[in-house]
Structure 1
Amino acid sequence: MTPDPTPEIPADELVAQYLTDAGMEILARNWRCTYGEISLIAEDAGITVFVYVHTRIGSAFQVPAGAVSFAKQQRLRRLSLLWLSEQEGPWWQVRFDVAAVILMPGCEPDVQHFRSAF
């Protein structure tokens, strides 16, 4: 019987810990509005970073950043503008990252972080 590859810790929590360990500050988790959700919003050396979190089960050879279609990129950009409009600025720099959690049966989850993915 193959072990269940689902992590005990949610993917966004794994990514948040990974980013925190890398020196980034988490500003918001699972921010929601009428139009959608942003998994993680962080700050990295003065840059506001909007992070799309993606989970892959199985092949480590698939490119997780490729799972972010143009439509998803546009949606995240629009959502980021809504989030920014609710905050006190100024916001000089923003970045869009993709973080993938790769789940392989019998292995610890692997977090991959792609800076400036789009």
Structure 2
Amino acid sequence: MQTHIGLGRRGETAAAAYLVRLGWTILARNWRCPEGELDIVAHDGAGTVVCEVKTRRSDRYGTPFEAISTDKAARLRRLTCAWAATHRARDAEIRIDVLGLLTDGDGFVVEHHRAVC
């Protein structure tokens, strides 16, 4: 289990670094409320973006994006609304992106899907 948790943490760190390279500002990491957790909340220069990070060693058991079920998407929307209410976010719309990371040995290959749910 620790190896799995470590991989997830490294993936989230790599995802945050990827977003910073894009010129985005990280607003929050691992934001928690009673309903759950948002991995990354960022600003892309135009608006607020919630980023769900899915990290895998391989796609042998499915791609990182296949982990976003209908239930997970609904939960992400609820968590995004909770974050917006807590922070009195004024953005008309907060986008939800998913970052799928596969390890390539030393680092990660990042695939970024925008406005997923």
The TM-score by the shorter chain falls in which range? 0.7 to 0.9
State, as a whole percentage, how many aligned pairs show the same letter. Answer: 34
Counterparts of 1:27-106 in structure 2, within 5 Å, are 27-59=27-59, 62-104=62-104, 106=105
Segments of 5+ residues of structure 2 without an aligned counterpart are none
More relative contact order in 1 or in 2 (CA 8 Å, sep 6+)? 1
TM-score (norm 2): 0.84
Number of equivalences: 113
Larger radius of gyration, structure 1 or 2? 1
RMSD of Structure 2 on Structure 1 (CA): 2.3
The amino acid of 2:24's aligned partner reads: M
TM-score (norm 1): 0.83
Residues 18/60 of structure 1: CA separation in 2 closer, same or farther (3 Å cut): farther
Map of 1:111 onto structure 2: 110
Could you say what secondary structure the match of 1:10 adopts? helix
After superposition, give the CA deviation of every residue in 1:6-60 in whole Å (9 maximum; x if it has no partner): 75x7111100000110111111000001110000001112211111100111238
Query: Given that residues 65 and 117 in structure 1 are in contact (C-alpha distance below 8 angstroms), is that contact kept between their aligned partners in structure 2?
Result: no
Segments of 5+ residues of structure 1 without an aligned counterpart are none
**Normalized per residue, which structure has more helix?**
2
